[in-house]
């Protein structure tokens, strides 16, 4: 995947929300300025005859008073704040309406289960905070989205919070464009394990395919990383490469990668979300044009692609947690495995 990420996109929502919060906070008015405002409000006709000295206030003193008066004006404050709130609602509505044109549907027959998530389930049942780390490359970081709101980790976080409204759920985006297993392993401890997550969603393998790296070597590194994450006590879901024109140019390597990652998941008793198969079904099974879910670079997903991916992943996580809560699916010992 590309190493270039449009960081300018990530700064806009931060500035906007900071501005919104500033508008929503009550203005702090010092006693002297409050008195000045009161005096100005109480001016009568005889005030027009005040001395020339009092009339010729400097620009430095007049401008702050005018600004303070505007902020203290309830009508003006309500108008500005109202516009800010309307903008927030507009953004939220756009996020909710993203599937209005093209519905997000799972493949026929459903997805393969992401596996059991006993740690996350137990934390939710106990009412304890849940920390999820989304680990990966540019499609985790969110390259191709029009706003950080539409990255898959943010979409997933919103979905889980809707499902578990009383739970304290944190989703950390630890994606870094251009990386694959060799680079990810170097920052695994700091970016993932040191955060003490309850669930790690690890998207990996695409850049290895694009670089013509040996799929088996990549799978060995992933298995090693999975072992380290399990030793730290977290549940894991692996995400395999995406179905897209540039990945499909390396069809043989992509096929091997998806199979080997599936084997790692099976051996290590962890979950896997078959992103390649899901996206392939969008195009070949549901007849959705590729440019409806992949941007013009032929590699990264667009807002709809990330949103549907996150929705289906979230559905699987919620289903798996529900099974654990009901005792339907009791996982085997994740420490028992056969090395590749």
Which helix (H) or strand (E) segment is 238 a member of?
A: strand 235-239
| pLDDT band for position 15 (cuts 50, 70, 90) | very low
Which helix (H) or strand (E) segment is 8 a member of?
A: helix 7-24
321 or 81, greater pLDDT: 321
- Would you state the pLDDT for residue 96? 58
158 or 52, greater pLDDT: 158
The pair of three-digit structure tokens given for residue 22, joined into one six-digit string = 């500033």
- Would you state the pLDDT for residue 309? 97
| pLDDT band for position 249 (cuts 50, 70, 90) | very high
Q: What is the mean pLDDT of residues 19-24?
A: 40
Q: Which residues pair with 294 in a beta bridge?
A: 301
Per the prediction, the chain carries an average pLDDT of 78
Question: Residue 77: pLDDT above 70?
Answer: no
Give, in degrees to the nearest 5, the angle at Cα 225 between 263 and 118. Answer: 75
Q: Which residues pair with 132 in a beta bridge?
A: 171, 199
Residue 212 has phi, psi (to 5 degrees) of 60, 35
Residue 21's alpha-carbon distances to 15, 18, 26, 90, 91, in angstroms, are: 10, 5, 10, 17, 16
Question: Residue 332: pLDDT above 70?
Answer: no
- Would you state the pLDDT for residue 8? 38
Domain ranges of the chain: 9-96, 118-326
| pLDDT band for position 174 (cuts 50, 70, 90) | very high
- Would you state the pLDDT for residue 198? 98
CA dist 312 and 104 (Å) reads: 8
Which of 34-48, 55-69, 93-107, 243-257 has the highest average model confidence (pLDDT)? 243-257
| Domain 118-326, CATH | 3.40.50.1110
* pLDDT cut 90: percent of the chain above it: 59
SS3 state of residue 328: coil
Give 38's Cβ-side CA count (13 Å radius).
7
Question: Residue 103: pLDDT above 60?
Answer: yes
pTM recorded for the entire structure: 0.70
Residue for token digits 């394990």? 193
Question: Residue 39: pLDDT above 70?
Answer: no
């Amino acid at each position: 995947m590309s190493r270039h990420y449009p960081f300018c996109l990530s700064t806009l929502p931060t500035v906007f929300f900071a501005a919104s919060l500033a508008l929503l906070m009550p203005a702090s008015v010092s006693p002297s300025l409050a008195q000045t405002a009161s005096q100005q409000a109480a001016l009568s006709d005889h005030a027009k005859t005040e001395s020339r000295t009092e009339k010729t206030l400097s620009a430095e003193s007049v401008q702050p008073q005018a600004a303070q008066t505007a902020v203290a004006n309830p009508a003006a404050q309500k108008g500005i704040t109202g516009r800010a709130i309307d903008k927030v609602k507009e953004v939220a509505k756009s996020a909710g309406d993203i599937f209005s044109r093209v519905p997000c549907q799972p493949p026929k027959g459903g997805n393969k289960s992401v596996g059991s998530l006993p740690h996350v389930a137990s934390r939710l049942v106990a009412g304890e905070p849940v920390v999820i780390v989304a680990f990966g490359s540019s499609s985790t970081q969110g390259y191709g989205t029009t706003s950080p709101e539409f990255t898959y980790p943010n979409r997933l976080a919103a979905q889980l919070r809707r499902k578990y409204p009383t739970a304290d759920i944190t989703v950390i985006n630890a994606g870094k464009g251009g990386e694959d297993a060799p680079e990810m392993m170097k920052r695994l401890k700091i970016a993932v394990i040191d955060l003490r997550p309850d669930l790690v969603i690890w998207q990996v393998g695409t850049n290895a395919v694009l670089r013509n790296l040996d799929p088996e070597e990549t799978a060995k590194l992933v298995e090693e990383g999975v072992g380290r994450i399990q030793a730290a006590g977290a549940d894991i879901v692996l995400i395999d490469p995406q179905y897209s024109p540039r990945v499909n140019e390396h069809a043989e390597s992509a096929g091997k990668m998806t199979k080997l990652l599936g084997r790692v998941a099976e051996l290590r008793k962890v979950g896997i979300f078959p992103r390649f198969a899901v996206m392939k079904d969008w195009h070949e099974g549901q007849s959705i044009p590729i440019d409806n879910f992949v941007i013009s670079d032929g590699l990264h997903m667009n807002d709809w692609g990330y949103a549907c991916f996150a929705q289906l992943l979230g559905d699987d996580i919620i289903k798996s947690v529900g099974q654990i809560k009901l005792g339907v699916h009791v996982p085997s010992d994740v420490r028992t495995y056969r090395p590749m």
